[in-house]
Structure 1
Amino acid sequence: MKTLVIYTHPNQQSLSYAFLQEVIRGCKENAKIEEVKVLDLYEEGFNPVLIFNENKRRRDMHADPDLAKYRDQLRWADKIVFVYPIWWGRPPAMLLGYIDQMFASGFAYKETGGLFPEGLLKGKSVVCISSMKGPTHYPFIWLNNAHKTLMRKALFNFVGIKKVKFFEFGSMESPRGRHKEKLNKIYRYFITVDQ
């Protein structure tokens, strides 16, 4: 199983970075994971800004040469892991800009003329690991589960990815946030995951 980890946080002293390290550690100790690649969007200097003009058309985004290496990473991966904070009830703008550009028509899905497109990323699985300042159940109670609905239904299911697992950790700025326990939960998941 080839695993691509997409990390989105500007601070490498953050709790998100600690979660990233546990993902990597667990993957390296899992015999079923043959290789792990990490894409740190901030360190990479990824440009999240969409540009459409007479030279860059939206319908050609699936073949944009500036994004070729990122498409290759997504094609290569069997499992895609996203590690990011929840800010204002949703992933960071940097990650959303990556999603806008990478999950393009012609690459991640194709129109069929029917109600739903054909997802072109079938067979892959996704894990989303997110942390937030508010309580764990805040997105579910106050935001009608908007984060999970956005990621699972509006994005991953749309492009053919049906196996999606979430780890949403709340109260992460509290001294009672049980950080070690949550970090260990991520490590234990990745050391045993088999698909």
Structure 2
Amino acid sequence: MPRTLVVIGHPIPGSFNHALADRYVAGLRALSPETPEHEVRVADLAADHFPHDPRTAADVRAPEGDTSHLDDRIAGWVEDLRWADHLVFFFPQWWGTYPAVLKAFLDRVMLSGVAFRRGRGHVSERLLGGTTARVFMTMDAPVLWNALVYRNAAETSLTRATLTFCGVKTVGLTRFAKVRFSTPEKREAWLDIAERLGSNDAGLRHRRPAATAAVAVTAPVA
């Protein structure tokens, strides 16, 4: 089973996203019951409070991977990110993207020097090559509306502008649509899907490459 970091990007405890995450982890462990607890780490952003806003440029940088200057909670998550082979994100679609708490997590944890390294000009080095990710999104809008009107903004910004930029390969994206109008039976079926995908991911194999490729795009930190 891959070393897995589960990020629950919902700011309210006890949400349906939390239930989905619980079932995913259950599926992940089902095929590897002997796996130590520490092989799965959970960042529950509803429970783990942290300083959202960087105060200086140093707060979004980790020169040569050094995190000694960061808040302890942030430094711990950065270590979780470096430790993980597989990242799993759960979040609701709010205003066409994702809640501020998840954006703050990405801003504070996907740091220059850890997730990517700036090169010359517009070329940056991906530092998370060999890592995979899975994304789960809940929403009240229909899938077609999300695609045509919102242009899949939440998924695109997370998977392409963030994960791909840092070398992470997204292996799956699951949307649970019209949650507010769903029946208990429908939600249970969605929970079953999350558990099944957790079981599937238990078989993922990873090998971090010795060297990472460069990406010729503009770095996300000004």
Amino acid across the alignment from 1:191: S
TM-score, with structure 1 as normaliser: 0.89
Q: Deviations over 1:64-99 (max 9, x none)?
A: 331221111011111111111110111110010010
Compared CA separation, residues 32 and 128, structure 1 to 2 (3 A): farther
Q: Do 1:29 and 1:191's aligned partners in 2 also have CA atoms closer than 8 Å? A: yes
In the other structure, the counterpart of 1:179 is: 187
In the other structure, the counterpart of 2:94 is: 87
Q: Do 1:122 and 1:159's aligned partners in 2 also have CA atoms closer than 8 Å? A: yes
SS at match of 2:173: strand
Higher mean C-alpha displacement, 169-178 vs 151-160:
169-178
Compared CA separation, residues 38 and 171, structure 1 to 2 (3 A): same
Task: Tell me the CA shift for residue 57 of structure 1.
Answer: 5.8
1:36 lines up with 2:40 in the alignment: yes
2-side partners of 1:74 and 1:6: how far apart? 10
Amino acid across the alignment from 1:65: L
1-side partners of 2:43 and 2:51: how far apart? 13
In the other structure, the counterpart of 2:215 is: none
Q: How many residues align?
A: 193
Unaligned runs of 5+ in 1: none
Higher mean C-alpha displacement, 3-12 vs 182-191:
3-12
SS at match of 2:181: coil
Alignment partner of 1:76 out of 53, 77, 83:
83
SS at match of 1:157: helix
1:70-149 matched pairs, under 5 angstroms = 70-149=77-156
In the other structure, the counterpart of 1:190 is: 198
1:15 lines up with 2:16 in the alignment: yes
1:45 lines up with 2:49 in the alignment: yes
Task: Tell me the CA shift for residue 114 of structure 1.
Answer: 4.6
1:161 lines up with 2:187 in the alignment: no
Q: Do 1:5 and 1:82's aligned partners in 2 also have CA atoms closer than 8 Å? A: yes
1-side partners of 2:169 and 2:189: how far apart? 28
Higher mean C-alpha displacement, 98-107 vs 32-41:
32-41
2-side partners of 1:83 and 1:165: how far apart? 12
Q: Do 2:93 and 2:139's aligned partners in 1 also have CA atoms closer than 8 Å? A: yes
Compared CA separation, residues 33 and 72, structure 1 to 2 (3 A): farther
Task: Tell me the CA shift for residue 191 of structure 1.
Answer: 1.2
Percent identity over the alignment is: 27
1-side partners of 2:13 and 2:34: how far apart? 25
Task: Tell me the CA shift for residue 164 of structure 1.
Answer: 3.9
1-side partners of 2:107 and 2:158: how far apart? 12
In the other structure, the counterpart of 1:65 is: 70
